[in-house]
Amino acid sequence: MNKLDAQRQKEIQQAEELLFAGAQALGFAKGLFQGHFVSDWVMPYPRIPEAQEGELVQTLAELRKFLNEDLDAAEIDRKADIPRSVIDGLGRIGVLGMTAPKEYGGRGFSQMANCKLLEEIGRRCASTSVFVNAHHSIGIRALLLFGTHEQKQKWLPKLVSGEQLGAFALTEKEAGSDAANVQMQARPSEDGSHFILNGEKRYITNAAIAHELTVMARTPVPGSDKTAVTAFLVTPDMRGFEMLEARMAKTGIRGTATGRFALRDVKVPKENVLGPMGKGLKVALTVLDFGRTTFGACCTGAAKTCLELAVAHANTRRQFNKTLSEFELVKKKIARIAADAYAMEAMTTVTASFIDRGLEDYMLETAMLKVFTTERLWECINDVFQIYGGSAYFTDLPLERMLRDARINQIGEGANEVLTSFIALVGMRGPGMEFKEIYDTLMKPSRDGISKAWAAGKNRLSATVRVPDVPVQSEQLRSHAQQLGRLIWRFNFAVNRALITYREPILDMQLVQERIANAAMDLFASTCVLSRVDGEIQFTERNGDAASPDDSAADLFLRQSFRRIRGFLAGLTDNDDKAVIAAAKSCLTDSGSGTTHTSGIQSLYATIR
């Protein structure tokens, strides 16, 4: 085995251990890749339990009032700071510890309810929503999920009230998208009482204002010469903690404090280890599931603002003796924003419900939500910017700020390219393993192998002959549901064909992966939309309302999404991939163009951001 192959095998093994250890439940997205529609994950459309609804409505009203009166997004951007009064106000309402258990001073809200609150903040100010996410969705999340009772008792009360703030520190110079490449070292002391941390972190939101930072560092694996990543609770008052840059000047979300810091021989007590030793990447992966869900909520809020702004301007601005709203090319943009905002909300709600129901393994769905909502929001902002014409370009309107703020979304918490690759590769692993079972048995028959291959073959075959049922309640949605079922069937067929055609090299074929991931994302988005509109129709019928709800945004979304899916699948066989690679190769230097050998595996492995 040459060095590259050995490296590749090592990465595959690491990815397998990280992502696929333990029982693998068939979640909704993984089901899509197998040609199944796992309906009980997504239907009926989730609703906030009645018992919680009153408290949510009241909290939402309180939050809206506070944000309307006390949050000035333009000033936060101009001064590049979120005033302490805003942080205190959010703390008072409970936003900084919304999902923390009541016993530690939190509000005990579900993730679905929390998303409704984040949507409200995302509507108004991206700096503030990113600040809240960095603190609550990821900063204190490892403590909430993996902390011992003693750790929670010690740290949480001040963090959930907002008296203290949290941050999540994974990124380093050499560990950006390749998050597994963390270089910060944590060496155990001779007496075992503490760890000595050395290294630097960069691009960390809240770093300079946090009182507690969840820091990822490399610890030795006992009995071997290997190291693995472990999560630590670090406080800035520890000797050797050095803030190198408290507020890095940046394009957007300027109110957030994005920092760079060094740890130089920092002694961290062993009591500050968060979660199991050597399982820091798993901790990070789980934490980011929460971050990506609230990311979806914030993007939904911002998309709703885009719609409001677009409608207001289109209705009032006159050119050619007409309002802009009378032009079809303006209508087209407004319709698309409305359809996307509807879908973003539906996807966020459904994904948050997976967390609330304690379902196992929703990392594909959270990755899909993050990529889908951040890409759609970018389009929404671009559309509303265009509708405003020249006026959008000036700083007296919020659009240029919104444009700057939204650009980080496609990069942070996992660059969208990396997550796209991840979605395709993790999704294809299930059917890929079944094909491998069949292939290995054909090459080397054994009694055990034959029975496993038989089961795998039966599974593959049943998915190719049966169009999955999409069980909607409302008669008027049957046709959309049938189309969705047929598209899932076609998707599964395309996945099988890609796996059979390309075999292992598919791990590096990102252009193929992108089409498969895009189709899967639209299938998930369409499912959430169908589930939501079905729920709304059923709710109206149950309440005896004569008028059906306006489902035009949902209808448009489904039509456009189905058309996109057909396009992605067609692109698998009709494309310019060879020309794309050739044109890129002619621009890239030798060192840049010849290094794709392990990139597929790396993206699979490094998706935890």
Ligand X SMILES: Cc1cc2nc3c(=O)[nH]c(=O)nc-3n(C[C@H](O)[C@H](O)[C@H](O)COP(=O)(O)OP(=O)(O)OC[C@H]3O[C@@H](n4cnc5c(N)ncnc54)[C@H](O)[C@@H]3O)c2cc1C
Cβ neighbours of residue 578 under 8 Å, at least 6 residues apart? none
Residue 408 touches ligand X, criterion: CB under 6 A: yes
Which tokens hold the place of 211?
């009182």
Q: Which amino acid is at 314?
A: A
Q: How many chain residues are in contact with ligand X, going by CB under 6 A?
A: 25
We find the least distance from the C-beta atom of residue 479 to ligand X, in angstroms, to be 38
Q: Which one of the spans 55-63, 81-89, 370-378, 413-421 is the region binding ligand X (CB under 6 A)?
A: 413-421
Q: Which one of the spans 48-56, 115-123, 185-193, 597-605 is the region binding ligand X (CB under 6 A)?
A: 597-605
We find the least distance from the C-beta atom of residue 173 to ligand X, in angstroms, to be 8
Q: Which is nearer to ligand X, 137 or 561 (CB)?
A: 137
Asked if residues 289 and 366 have their Cβ atoms less than 8 Å apart, the reply is: yes
Which of these, 43, 25, 32, lies nearest to 485 by C-alpha position? 32
Q: Which is nearer to ligand X, 298 or 346 (CB)?
A: 298
Q: Which is nearer to ligand X, 209 or 314 (CB)?
A: 209
Please report how many Cα atoms fall inside a 13 Å half-sphere around the Cα of residue 153, on the Cβ side: 4
Binding mask 124-163 for ligand X (x = CB under 6 A): ----------x-----------------------------
We find the least distance from the C-beta atom of residue 268 to ligand X, in angstroms, to be 18
Q: Which is nearer to ligand X, 64 or 407 (CB)?
A: 407
C-alpha–C-alpha distance, residues 528 and 533, integer Å: 9
Question: By CB under 6 A, what part of segment 470-489 binds ligand X?
Answer: none
We find the least distance from the C-beta atom of residue 197 to ligand X, in angstroms, to be 15
Binding mask 232-261 for ligand X (x = CB under 6 A): ------------------x--x----x---
We find the least distance from the C-beta atom of residue 317 to ligand X, in angstroms, to be 33
How much is the CA Rg of the chain, to the nearest whole Å? 25
We find the least distance from the C-beta atom of residue 276 to ligand X, in angstroms, to be 20
Binding mask 349-388 for ligand X (x = CB under 6 A): ----------------------------------------
Cβ neighbours of residue 182 under 8 Å, at least 6 residues apart? 170, 172, 175, 216, 217, 218, 229, 280
Asked if residues 310 and 129 have their Cβ atoms less than 8 Å apart, the reply is: no
Q: Which is nearer to ligand X, 203 or 372 (CB)?
A: 203
Which of these, 463, 479, 351, lies nearest to 28 by C-alpha position? 351
- In the chain, count of helices (H) and strands (E)? 22, 10
Which of these, 302, 332, 340, 335, lies nearest to 525 by C-alpha position? 340
Cis? peptide before 44, omega within 30° of 0 = yes
Q: Which one of the spans 389-397, 407-415, 460-468, 494-502 is the region binding ligand X (CB under 6 A)?
A: 407-415
- Contacts of range 241-250, beta carbons closer than 8 Å, 24 or more positions apart: 241/266, 243/207, 243/208, 244/200, 246/207, 246/208, 247/80, 247/208, 248/203, 249/80
Residue 80 touches ligand X, criterion: CB under 6 A: no
Residue 411 touches ligand X, criterion: CB under 6 A: yes
Q: Which one of the spans 152-160, 203-211, 492-500, 551-559 is the region binding ligand X (CB under 6 A)?
A: 203-211
Active-site annotation holder among 365, 375, 400, 413:
413
Q: Which is nearer to ligand X, 417 or 440 (CB)?
A: 417
Tell me the torsion sign for CA atoms 44, 45, 46, 47. Answer: negative
For ligand X, which residue of 86, 121, 285, 418 counts as binding (CB under 6 A)?
Answer: 418
Q: Are strands 185-188 and 194-205 parallel, antiparallel or unpaired?
A: antiparallel
Q: Which is nearer to ligand X, 120 or 413 (CB)?
A: 413
Residue 507 touches ligand X, criterion: CB under 6 A: no
We find the least distance from the C-beta atom of residue 416 to ligand X, in angstroms, to be 7
C-alpha–C-alpha distance, residues 453 and 439, integer Å: 8
We find the least distance from the C-beta atom of residue 389 to ligand X, in angstroms, to be 29
Question: By CB under 6 A, what part of segment 162-191 binds ligand X?
Answer: 168-171, 176-177
Q: Which amino acid is at 112?
A: M
Q: Which is nearer to ligand X, 241 or 388 (CB)?
A: 241
413 annotated active-site: yes
Asked if residues 474 and 538 have their Cβ atoms less than 8 Å apart, the reply is: yes
Residue 602 touches ligand X, criterion: CB under 6 A: yes
Asked if residues 523 and 568 have their Cβ atoms less than 8 Å apart, the reply is: no
C-alpha–C-alpha distance, residues 346 and 46, integer Å: 10
Q: What region, left, alpha or beta, does residue 539 occupy, with left being phi > 0 and alpha being psi -120 to 50 degrees?
A: alpha
Q: Which is nearer to ligand X, 60 or 581 (CB)?
A: 581
We find the least distance from the C-beta atom of residue 133 to ligand X, in angstroms, to be 9
For ligand X, which residue of 161, 373, 421, 441 counts as binding (CB under 6 A)?
Answer: 421
For ligand X, which residue of 165, 355, 415, 494 counts as binding (CB under 6 A)?
Answer: 415
For ligand X, which residue of 110, 128, 205, 518 counts as binding (CB under 6 A)?
Answer: 205
Asked if residues 502 and 428 have their Cβ atoms less than 8 Å apart, the reply is: no
Cβ neighbours of residue 213 under 8 Å, at least 6 residues apart? 139, 166, 167, 168, 169, 204, 207, 233, 234, 235, 236
We find the least distance from the C-beta atom of residue 537 to ligand X, in angstroms, to be 40
For ligand X, which residue of 37, 203, 354, 362 counts as binding (CB under 6 A)?
Answer: 203
Residue nearest to ligand X (CB): 176
- Contacts of range 535-541, beta carbons closer than 8 Å, 24 or more positions apart: 535/44, 535/45, 535/47, 536/45, 537/473, 537/474, 537/476, 537/477, 538/44, 538/473, 538/474, 541/474
* Angle at the Cα of 370 from the Cα atoms of 512 and 514, rounded to 5 degrees: 5
What are the catalytic residues?
413
Interface ranges with ligand X (CB under 6 A): 134, 168-171, 176-177, 203-205, 250, 253, 258, 408, 411-413, 415, 417-418, 421, 599, 602-603, 609
